[in-house]
């Protein structure tokens, strides 16, 4: 198995990108973007995660099987986030109106 060695400049460049993205995250935290605050923060976090996984975890030069397992892990994470958002999104559904009570109850049996 051959080991691919990245240059020091590549690591420095990735490190500088991570520092810029971290500063951007901090800067965005002080800006009111309304409903997009979370979206922007998560987008920056995903970019940083991809840089770390690609370069520092050496996925860039790994086998296809490793990439499949990493993709499966991210798919599992997306499923968990989707189910969590589905649960949170349904918590604000209004209660059943009062007028429906008689329509859903069973009438007593005649004597």
pLDDT tens for each residue of the chain, 111 residues long: 567 777 899 999 999 999 999 999 999 999 999 888 888 998 999 999 999 999 988 888 889 999 999 999 999 999 998 999 888 888 877 776 666 655 666 667 777
Radius of gyration for the chain, computed over Cα atoms and rounded to the nearest angstrom: 25
The whole-number pLDDT of residue 98 equals 64
CB 59 within 8 A of CB 67: yes
Domain that holds residue 63: 7-70
Please report whether residue 95 resides in a domain: no
Domain presence at residue 46: yes
Count of domains observed in the chain = 1
pTM: 0.68
Distances (CA, A) of 75 to 12, 45, 68: 30, 17, 10
* Residues shown for the chain: 111
Residue 104 lies in a domain: no
- Tokens in use for 96? 């059943």
d(Cα 49, Cα 59) in Å, to the nearest integer?
Answer: 12
- The closest of 17, 87, 9, 27 to 49, measured between CA atoms, is 17
Residue 102 placed within a domain = no
The reply to whether 92 falls in a domain is no
């Amino acid at each position: 198995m051959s080991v691919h060695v990245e240059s020091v400049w590549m690591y420095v460049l990735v490190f500088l990108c991570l520092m810029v993205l971290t500063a951007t995250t901090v800067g965005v935290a002080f800006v009111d973007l309304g409903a997009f605050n979370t979206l922007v923060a998560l987008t920056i976090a995903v970019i940083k995660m991809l840089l770390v996984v690609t370069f520092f975890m050496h996925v860039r030069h790994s086998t296809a099987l490793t990439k499949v397992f990493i993709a499966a892990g991210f798919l599992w994470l997306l499923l968990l986030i989707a189910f969590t958002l589905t649960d949170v999104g349904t918590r604000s559904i209004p209660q059943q109106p009062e007028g429906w009570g008689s329509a859903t109850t069973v009438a007593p049996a005649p004597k």
